[in-house]
Every structure is written in structure tokens, then in C-alpha cells.
Structure 1
Amino acid sequence: MIASVTGTRKRNDVYVYGVTAFPFKPRSLGQGIGDPPADVFLVPYRRLAGVVSKVDGFFSDSGKALRKNLTAHLGVLSHLFEKATILPAAFGSICPAASVKEHLAASYDSLVESLTELDGKLEVRLSASYREKELLKAVIDSEPRLARGDHRTLGDKIEHGKEIIGAIERKRENDRRAIFARLEPLLRDLAVHSEDSTVLFRASVLIAREDLAQFDHFLEEIARDLGQLIDFRCVGPLPPYSFVKEALFLSKEAAWA
């Protein structure tokens, strides 16, 4: 069972950062959550290892402590990700030390499969947002009939508004399809997240590590072509957070999953 972030720590509990392949012998696993920061170590089971640390100093209602521990959690994952493939656990994943091997044993085949599938791959988070004035101009330029101003009745105006909304939706779909088509040769997997009226898409893409430079080049070309209409934001490279199929050390009590 996973304890909540502000719960009561039990003896022999450990904080879990994720799962990696074993044997894995870096010079140092670094330090993680807590005050003072706890040393990170491995709990091996056959070809797997849980990446953990003690949880002293983790439980706190302080927003400052929470932010510090979140930064430490992400830092451990980033440090390990430079050296190996890792399946990240959710922030706040805490369990009895003995449960780590139990979880690795119970999910052994699927965890090995996930590590194999994600080996040599990374995640990039990409979002694209329209500039509203430029979007409306682009829609009217592509469908000049929408620029007509001879809408005399309320019904005419309502119908005109519906036509503009429909044209915007068509453009959104066409732009999304065109952008992902240009990135498609490098995509190993894709997870599209929420969107709204001005956000064209929020997505996580999975690519090979060796393709990162080419992916950046593709993005630069797309931004150059569409930069007056769309603002792009890119975060990465990251461990493959969005592509871990196994719910690592997760239960309904995990407050920060």
C-alpha cells in the first residue's frame, strides 16, 4: 500500500523513484528526497531493480518541502535516465521495503517487456497554441466568403458564426494532421493530451535517443513555416513518463499519482 504524502511513516518504508534493468552499476545513484537528502539505492530482483531511498524527512505539510521533494524526485529520474532506461514511478510512491521485491516479482514479465520496448527511447512534450487574431485571419483568407458582412437578421449572424466555428475546426484538424505527418517518420509512439479553443494540441511523443537532433530540426522547420500563426513549446528530453503501461507501486491511496 502507498502512503499519502502527509501521512505517518512506517518503519522500513522506502520511497520509490522507478524501475530499471539489473545489473546496473553506475558510480553513484545520487541523492533524493528528504531533509537531509537520502542516498538512492537499488533493490534488485532478477533482471530488474527498484530505485529507492529512505523516506526520512519526506512527510510534511510545507509547500516549500513539497516542492523541494518534487524537484529531488525529478532530479533522480533525470540523473538515471542519462545512463539507463527507467520506468518512472509517480511522485509520492512509498511502500514497505519488502513490497518492492514483491511488486517486481508480481509484475516481472510486463516490466521487463516495458523496459525492452522503451530501451533507447525518450519522451518530448510538445504543445502548439494559436495566436487568435492570426487564426481568424487565416481562416477568412482560406474561405473568403466568411468575410461577407451582409448579415441582416439575427439568424443570419448566428449562421455566420456557426460557419466560422466550423471553418476553425477544419483548420485545427488539418493543421494537427499536417504537423504530425511531418514528425511521423521519427515517432515511435504518440499520446495526445487535452486541448481547448486556442490550444491546437498538447502531446507527448516517444522517439529514439539518436533521433533527437533530427526531431529538433523538424520542429525548427515547422516553427519557421507556421511561427506567425502558431506558438510552439517543447520540453525534453525526458524519461518516458507518458508511455509507462505498468502502474508502478500505485494504489488508490497514492496522493500524488
Structure 2
Amino acid sequence: MTADEAGTAPPVQGACYVYGVVPEPEDHTSALDLPGVGDPEAQATFVGHRGIAAVISAVPTDRPLGTPEDLHAHARVLDSLAASTTAVVPFRFGTVLPDVRTVVEELLEEGRDEFAEILKRLHGQAQFTLRARYVQEAVLREVLGENPAIARLREEVAAKDEDASYYQRVELGRAITDAIAGKRETDTAEIQRRLAPFAVATAHAEPAVAEGVVNASFLVPQEKWAAFEKAAEELAVQWHGRIQLRLLGPLAPYDFVDEAASETEEGR
């Protein structure tokens, strides 16, 4: 449905869950063969207006959203679009508007120029997220092998009871933590050196676990997806048994929309 098709039945009756915004497809009646948020029977579809379109599905309003299934459904719709090379501006989970008319008039019409510019900047690109964590036993062996003083302190601590070695245990823990931090810095730089050349932008977040090495996202043009994945696989082989790597993607550009929006504002 477009703003000019007032006589056409809207693709969704009632409240609309909004996943994000994409370029307007030629076929407004097309639907994604994926379960919608809040209602697995409600497929995601498009409502277009002046060259852009919202990705929406019918959503029940008689219960709160937020189950694991809801979260997964939200991500699946957005990531399937990104994997199909469709530029997408992903919305935060939980965006609900009262009806299709509101989607068109208050979302697409009011934000049309900004959305169009952001989509232009994100065209042909998708996010890949790399999460890496140390294999604890392996990295501890490295630390002890490379730092004789730490190894000796560990032996001294092991020879004493807990009360007598309390302060030495604190010192040992601090020394090991500092040594691993140094390794983390080196390994993060190596990941950046090997993968960043394939990306147009990168973003870093704090690892979610203590043994985490890196939690990094890369905005990668479609023509470099295969090369990027190959480079990540080579790292995984090189660090097998030492660092566990998990590569997610292609994903919607969750970590790069704000940057694209800022560039759009600066360009005005």
C-alpha cells in the first residue's frame, strides 16, 4: 500500500509491528516467509511510500512482547533482508504503531528524506559480528610459559594453605589478569589488521565475558563478503585450541545505523 492507494485494503489490519525501513519493493504485496513478532502466523510484509517502505506485520496488543521467540523473530526478519542484499534501517525491538495509516503518514512521510539517504549510504553492505574468547587453559599455559615470575609465584601459592597465601593469591590474580590484558590488546590488533581491510567501517563493544577477546562488528560490502569470511576462517584455524571465534552474518547493520544517520545530518 502507498499513501495514494486509499481505496486499497491495507496489508495489515490493526496494530503494526515495525521491523525497519527498506527501499520500496516493486511488489507491495510480497511477504517474507518468516513468522512475525508476537504472532507466528502473521508474516512480515511491506508498506511503501515515495521510494521507501516499512517492513511490518500484524501484532497482537493483548499481551506484552519480549519472549525469546519474539526477539528471534525480530532479528530473523531483519537479517534475512540483509542476507538478500537489501539495504535496511533496522528498528529497535518493540516498535509498534496503531495502524498502517500511521506507518505511512507519521513514519514514512515525515522521515522519508532521512531514511532515503541512510539507505543510500548502507546500500550493498551488511554487518558481520565477530566474537572471540580465550580457551582458559590454553591462555593460562601461555602466560605461565612466557612469564617465569608468574609461574614461580603460582608454585609458591600452591605450596601454601589459603589463609597463609591470601595476599600472594591476590598478587597472582592481578599478574595473570594484566598478562592476559596484554595478550588481548595484541590479538585484538591482529583481528583488526586481518579483517578491517574488507570493511568500510568497524565498531567495537566490550566482550560480555571475562575471557572475551573481542566483540567487533564490521560493515562489509557484498562483493567482499566471501573474502571477509575466508579471512575470519583462516584466523579460526590459526588460533584453534587457543581462541574460540564465532562469526555472525550477514546481519542487518545494527551497529552502523547511528553513524550513517550522523553522516546524513552532517551532509545537510
TM above 0.5:
yes
Query: Following the alignment from structure 1 to structure 2, what is the Cα–Cα distance between the partners of residues 79 and 125?
Result: 15
Deviation of the 1:151 alpha carbon = 6.0
Cα offset, 1:218, TM superposition: 0.7
Relative distance call for 1:40 and 1:140 in structure 2 (3 A) is: closer
In structure 1, C-alpha distance between the alignment counterparts of 2:254 and 2:136, rounded to whole Å: 31
Shift of residue 236 of structure 1? 1.7
User: Quick one: distance in 2 between partners of 1:36 and 1:131?
Assistant: 38
| In structure 1, distance between residues paired with 2:222 and 2:137 | 37
Q: CA deviation at 1:234?
A: 1.5
Alignment RMSD (CA, Å): 3.1
Q: Which residue of 1 aligns with 2:20?
A: 18
Q: CA deviation at 1:134?
A: 1.2
Rounded Cα–Cα distance in structure 2 between residues aligned with 1:77 and 1:156: 51
Which structure ranks higher in relative contact order (CA pairs < 8 Å, sequence separation ≥ 6)?
Answer: 1
2:258 is paired with a residue whose SS is: coil
Quick one: which of 80, 85, 88 aligns to 1:86? 88
State the Cα distance separating 1:58 from its structure 2 match.
6.0
Q: Is the 8 A contact 1:29 1:80 kept in 2?
A: no
**Would you say the 8 A contact 2:128–2:248 is kept in 1?**
yes
* 1:38-88 CA-partner distances (Å, limit 9, x unpaired): 354332222211122232x4643698xx44444443343344331521212
CA offsets 1:132-180 (integer angstroms, 9 cap, x no match): 1211221233333432348699666654543333222111111111111
TM-score by length of 2: 0.74
The Cα shift of 1:199 comes to 0.8
User: What does residue range 74-223 of structure 1 map to in structure 2 within 5 Å?
Assistant: 74-81=75-82, 82=84, 84-96=86-98, 97-101=100-104, 102-149=106-153, 158-195=170-207, 196-223=209-236
One-letter amino acid of the structure 1 residue matched with residue 253 of structure 2:
P
Matches within 5 A, 1:47-62: 47-55=51-59, 57=60, 59-60=62-63
Determine the C-alpha separation between the residues in 2 that align with 1:123 and 1:204: 6
> What 5-or-longer segments of structure 2 have no aligned partner?
1-12, 158-163, 262-268
Tell me the equivalent position of 2:249. 236
Residue aligned with 1:30, SS: strand
Q: Residues 59, 192 of structure 1: CA spacing in aligned structure 2 closer, same or farther, 3 A cutoff?
A: farther
Cα 1:238/1:26, change in 2 over 3 Å: farther
Q: Give 1:183 shift.
A: 0.8
Q: Letter of the aligned partner of 2:148 in structure 1?
A: P
Runs of at least 5 residues in structure 1 that lack an aligned partner in the other structure: 1-10, 249-257
1:254 matched residue in structure 2: none
Report if aligned partners of 1:114, 1:245 keep a CA contact under 8 Å in 2. Answer: no
SS at match of 1:236: strand
Q: CA deviation at 1:182?
A: 1.0
Does 2:41 correspond to 1:37? Answer: yes
**Counterpart of 2:31 in structure 1: which amino acid?**
L
Distance 1:176 1:95 in 2: 41
CA contact under 8 A between 1:128 and 1:202: conserved in structure 2?
A: yes
3-state SS of paired residue (1:109): helix
Q: Report the TM-score, using the length of structure 1 for normalisation.
A: 0.77
